């Protein structure tokens, strides 16, 4: 709620991902951290756990503001609204150390530009402030801005422990894991179709499953076990996990004045174009951003090359911006699209 009484909710999330260096004790596991400890961590963020789902590879938490994922040595926190995820870092790092993970191998913090940055709380009132806070913990971190700083952009902060000694027989990628395929795709959508967004109101469905099925969310990645929640009076969150340890998460702010939907997954696909098309055809945004992280041996690397090529004149979407970053062991693609009424339905 803003000072003048106007209702507003910031759908744009802050995404924090940390990989810890492998512990010498194979029994050590971040999933051993208790729920009460996680609740203490999240109290620093100003959010709480709503529900959980888990399998042998990953634990997933639906939060009052988005999601958290925990695997053996990777932790992901994605929160919207006026949450303060960076403020939980000290406690998170202590808990990790207590559970045998003393060294952060890699850290990634990212977010799109806020719709109402003035409503945010320290240390999230600007990217410069966030960078200063992160630098106080990770002195060798690096910050980036992709897109147009005065229009739509996406901020990224990375830290990688550069002094890890690696033998030629044990080459690891940027996220500190054996050089297996690794990838993450985010689709950040705004100006959503009002009819589609009406599905995610409590006066339309009594439970989240009804909204999940009606919208077609359950068909996007059918192998996922879904844990979903419909907020009152409106709003929706879901986590999906599969037995490979892959996840997907969707968060929806449906109000017409500031509608926002985010989709994220690390599922390994040979081509993401079909997935992107399915997501945007499900939610029908007026504009959206795609970001893809992929290491060199990921099948997604080919998708990144495809997206670098301008689409045909028949495309439903006009690419308004695209940038690529080449890091030591993975690549990042940022692409922005806006609605083109004259043409067809897909990328």
Query: Which positions are annotated as active-site residues?
Result: 10, 13, 66, 80, 237, 251
Upper half-sphere CA count for residue 169 (Cβ side, 13 Å):
0
Cα–Cα distance for residue pair 323/332, rounded to 1 Å:
8
Judge whether 187 and 262 are in contact, CB under 8 Å: yes
CB atoms within 10 A of CB 59: 20
Cα–Cα distance for residue pair 205/194, rounded to 1 Å:
16
Cis-peptide into 233, omega within 30 deg: yes
Judge whether 179 and 295 are in contact, CB under 8 Å: yes
DSSP secondary structure letter of residue 310 = P
CB atoms within 10 A of CB 139: 8
Closest CA to 317 of 292, 297, 288: 288
Angstrom CA distances, 161 to 27, 104, 109, 133, 158, stand at 23, 7, 15, 18, 10
Closest CA to 80 of 40, 38, 116: 116
What are φ and ψ of residue 133, in 5° steps? -65, -45
CB atoms within 10 A of CB 220: 19
What are φ and ψ of residue 209, in 5° steps? -60, -35
């Amino acid at each position: 709620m803003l000072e003048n009484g106007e209702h507003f909710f910031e759908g744009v999330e802050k995404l924090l991902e940390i990989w810890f260096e492998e512990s010498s004790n194979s029994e050590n596991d971040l999933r051993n951290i208790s729920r009460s400890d996680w609740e203490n961590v999240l109290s620093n963020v100003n959010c709480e756990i709503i529900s959980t789902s888990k399998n042998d590879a990953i634990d997933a938490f639906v939060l009052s503001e988005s999601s958290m994922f925990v695997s053996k040595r990777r932790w992901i926190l994605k929160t919207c609204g006026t949450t303060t995820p960076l403020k939980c870092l000290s406690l998170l790092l202590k808990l990790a150390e207590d559970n045998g993970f003393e060294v952060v191998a890699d850290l990634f913090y990212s977010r799109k530009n806020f719709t109402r940055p003035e409503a945010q709380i320290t240390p999230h009132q600007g990217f410069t402030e966030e960078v200063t806070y992160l630098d106080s913990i990770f002195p060798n971190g690096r910050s980036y801005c992709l897109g147009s700083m005065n229009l739509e952009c996406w901020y990224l902060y990375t830290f990688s422990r550069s002094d890890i000694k690696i033998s030629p027989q044990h080459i690891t990628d940027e996220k500190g894991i054996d050089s297996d395929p690794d990838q993450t795709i985010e689709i950040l959508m705004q100006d959503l179709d009002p009819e589609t967004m009406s599905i995610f109101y409590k006066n339309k469905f009594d439970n989240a499953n009804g909204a999940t099925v009606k919208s077609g969310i359950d068909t996007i990645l059918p192998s996922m076990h879904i844990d979903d929640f419909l907020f009152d009076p409106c709003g929706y969150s879901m986590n999906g996990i599969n037995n490979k340890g892959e996840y997907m998460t969707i968060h929806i702010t449906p109000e017409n004045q500031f509608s926002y939907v985010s989709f994220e997954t690390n599922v390994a696909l040979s081509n993401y174009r079909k997935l992107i098309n399915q997501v945007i055809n499900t939610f029908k945004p007026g504009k959206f951003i795609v970001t893809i992280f992929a290491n060199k041996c990921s099948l997604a690397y080919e998708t990144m090359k495809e997206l670098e090529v301008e689409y045909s004149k028949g495309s439903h979407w006009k690419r308004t911006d695209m940038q690529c970053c080449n890091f030591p062991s993975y690549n990042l693609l940022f692409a922005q699209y806006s609605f083109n009424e004259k043409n067809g339905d897909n990328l």
